[in-house]
Amino acid sequence: MSTNGVNGDGGHAWPKDVGILAMDIYFPSTFVDQAELEQHDGVSAGKYTIGLGQTRMGFCSDREDVNSLCLTVVKRLLEKTGTKATDIGRMEVGTETIIDKSKSVKSVLMQLFAESGNTDMEGVDSTNACYGGTAALFNSINWIESSAWDGRLGLAVCADIAVYAAGAARPSGGAGAVAMLVGPHAPLVLDRGVRATHMQHVYDFYKPDMSSEYPVVDAKLSIQCYLSALDTCYRLYKQKAAKRGANGLTLASFDAVLFHSPYCKLVQKSLARLALNDYLALEEGQAKLPELEKFKDTKLEESYFDRDVEKAFMAHSQPMFESKTKPGLKIATNVGNMYTPSLYGGLVSYMTSQAVEELAGRTVALFSYGSGMASSFFSLRVSPDCSAGSPLAKFASCLADVGPRLEARTKVAPEEFVATLSLREKAIDSAPFAPVGSLEQLFPGTFHLVGVDDKHRRQYARTDMAQQNGHA
């Protein structure tokens, strides 16, 4: 893939190499083992671990909410990168975990900037299921490339707590937050002019009950919507890339292909879906594999649940999955579906899967999907400069603790997991409310809910630092 063709500036005096300067991820300190959950739920062995491709699922007690997750990840990123509070000119939060119908999570995060006096900060919240984080990222990029940019950096934040009512969907939950520092001269540069979007009105997954964290899900429709949106976005991306000189673009054009991950098995099927798209786009005379020849007349809109097509292209794309997509699934299989941070947890996984010298210069394709629906296919390129002190080396050092943190979590029995979700059910709209979850289990530096007063006003503190810093 010719990134120069895709990323051409077209004569505009754009800020140079706008993209992601640094990232950090937060996930809960507790998890439930999916194999143990299978036993507890009385389902067949492998239903969650093999059928869904999930290993562990992170979850929060009543001590954490979407505000605390965002406070934790933003504070950590600013501290790790040495970014001053006054360096931020735009901050936006993507989330579907709504705890107030009016007050944005971004407004809560402004507490972190109060001491600096920086109140001149654009952005509020973006909401559309799992897509909100991508909207926050795109809006941050757009701001820096606009006439409104004042030279400061952007912060795109995504966070959610994904929980389901007891039943088949519960093992596809999770929780977490990702914060991305956005600006010019970035080690991860978003390609310009090629990102492709598909949006449509559909009731595949939605949350109409404001007194519950649980969604209404039409599982089969949701899968069909995801795959059809992927087809459309990929086709549009190819068309836009061709207009910029990148003709004949296929999966082979990318070093990595990352997806929003409701569960890991769907990601594997999605890569196979793109392989099917590539195959059907082959022109007469181009080499077609004999074992796939019988699928040459497949119609995309009729093949969402065609097991023969799915099986054939999963086998065909297996080597590509192992090298280009599986390295991006470590957090997804160990934490679960984080909703808006899911795709970006995949990017964190990929960028920590190998030495920075191996990642330098690579091209990465990303697909973001949010039910209801909103979706985009876009790409970025990793800086070729991985020398000591380079932006890419600094990017990698910021994520160096992700693996150790994953391993430092506490495993909780399924019975305690179920009891904790029951606690959350009771807490969802209670006021006044005093959380009872353990503080000892939280990671150092984690913001947590202290209490909710009779006017529903929430107060937070930070573990290990609460006494010296006071409440957030």
Q: Which band of pLDDT confidence, cut at 50, 70 and 90, is reported for residue 6?
A: very low
Q: Which residues pair with 58 in a beta bridge?
A: 31
User: Would the pLDDT of 314 be above 90?
Assistant: yes
Using CA atoms, how far residue 470 sits from 62, 459, 460, in Å, is 21, 11, 9
Say if CB 291 and CB 297 are below 8 A apart.
no
Residue 156 near residue 188, CB atoms below 8 Å: no
User: At what angle are helices 391-398 and 66-81 packed, to 10 degrees?
Assistant: 140
Q: Is residue 467 pLDDT above 60, yes or no?
A: no
Question: Which pLDDT does position 427 carry in this prediction?
Answer: 81
**How far is it, in rounded angstroms, from Cα 233 to Cα 236?**
5
Range from 139-143, 184-188, 363-367, 427-431 carrying the lowest mean pLDDT: 427-431
pLDDT digits (tens, 9 = 90+) for 254-264: 999 999 999 99
Confidence of residue 10 (pLDDT cuts 50, 70, 90): very low
Whether the CB-CB separation of 122 and 174 falls below 8 Å is answered with no
Reported pTM:
0.95
pLDDT at 289: 85
Instruction: Please report the pLDDT score of residue 12 as a whole number.
Output: 58
Q: Residue 117: CA atoms inside 13 Å, Cβ hemisphere, count?
A: 0
412 vs 124: CA distance, rounded Å: 35
HSE-CB at 34 with a 13 A cutoff on CA atoms is 27
Token pair of 34, please? 């999916």
With residue 380 as reference, give the H or E element that holds it.
Answer: strand 374-382
Q: Is the pLDDT of residue 454 over 90?
A: yes
Distance CA(340)–CA(376), nearest Å, equals 13
Residue 147 structure tokens: 């006439």
Which whole number is the average pLDDT over 286-308?
91
Average pLDDT, the chain: 93
Q: Computed from CA positions of residues 343, 347, 353, 358, in that sequence, does the dihedral angle turn out positive or negative?
A: positive
Mean pLDDT of 236-253: 95
Query: Mapping DSSP to helix (H, G, I), strand (E, B) and coil, where does residue 139 land?
Result: helix
Phi, psi torsion values for 94, nearest 5 degrees:
-105, 120
Which position has the higher pLDDT, 7 or 409? 409
Place 123 in a pLDDT band, splitting at 50, 70 and 90.
very high
Burial of residue 404 (CB within 10 Å: 0-12, 13-18, 19+) is exposed
Residue 152, pLDDT above cutoff 70: yes
Give the pLDDT confidence score for residue 426 in this predicted structure. Answer: 80
Indicate the SS3 state at residue 219. helix
pLDDT (0 to 100) of residue 14: 82
Q: Which residue has the tokens 């497949």?
A: 298
pLDDT confidence tier of residue 165, bands split at 50, 70 and 90: confident
pLDDT value at position 1? Answer: 37
| CA atoms of 338 and 344, how far apart (whole Å) | 10
Q: Using pLDDT thresholds of 50, 70 and 90, give the confidence band for residue 111.
A: very high
By mean pLDDT, which of 161-170, 193-202, 229-238 is the weakest?
A: 161-170
What's the half-sphere exposure (Cβ side, CA atoms, 13 Å) at 90?
A: 25
Q: Report residue 90's pLDDT band, with 50, 70 and 90 as the boundaries.
A: very high
Q: What is the pLDDT of residues 209-244, one digit of tens each?
A: 988 889 999 999 999 999 999 999 999 999 999 999
The mean pLDDT of 416-438, rounded to a whole number, is 90
Q: How far is CA 413 from CA 139, 165, 227, in A?
A: 41, 18, 35
pLDDT, position 428: 78
Q: In the 8-state DSSP scheme, what is residue 322?
A: I
Write down how long the chain is.
472
CA dihedral 242, 246, 252, 254 (to 10 degrees): -110
Our CA angle for 345, 419, 421, nearest 5°, is: 40
- CA atoms of 51 and 45, how far apart (whole Å): 10
Distance in angstroms (rounded) separating the CA atoms of residues 459 and 472: 7
- Identify the three-state secondary structure at position 392: helix
Q: Is 387 exposed, middle or buried (0-12, 13-18, 19+ CB in 10 A)?
A: exposed
Degrees, nearest 5: CA angle 158-163-164: 140
Residue 384: exposed, middle, or buried by beta-carbon count in 10 A (0-12, 13-18, 19+)?
exposed
Q: What is the pLDDT of residue 462?
A: 97
CATH number of 3-469: 3.40.47.10
pLDDT at 4: 39
Distance from chain centroid for Cα 143: 21
Residue 472 has what pLDDT? 44
Query: Can you tell me the mean pLDDT for 102-122?
Result: 98
- Residue 269, pLDDT score: 97
- Domain ranges for the chain, please list them: 3-469
Angle between helices 264-280 and 307-320 (to 10 degrees): 100
Which residues are the active-site residues?
96, 130, 260
| Alpha carbon separation from 456 to 34, 207, 432, 470 (Å, rounded) | 35, 21, 7, 20
* Contact in structure between 347 and 364 (CB atoms under 8 Å): yes
4 vs 389, higher pLDDT:
389
Q: What is the rounded average pLDDT of the residues 445-454?
A: 97
Percent pLDDT > 70 in the chain is 95
Amino acid at position 12, single letter: H
**Is pLDDT of 288 > 70?**
yes
7 pLDDT exceeds 50? no
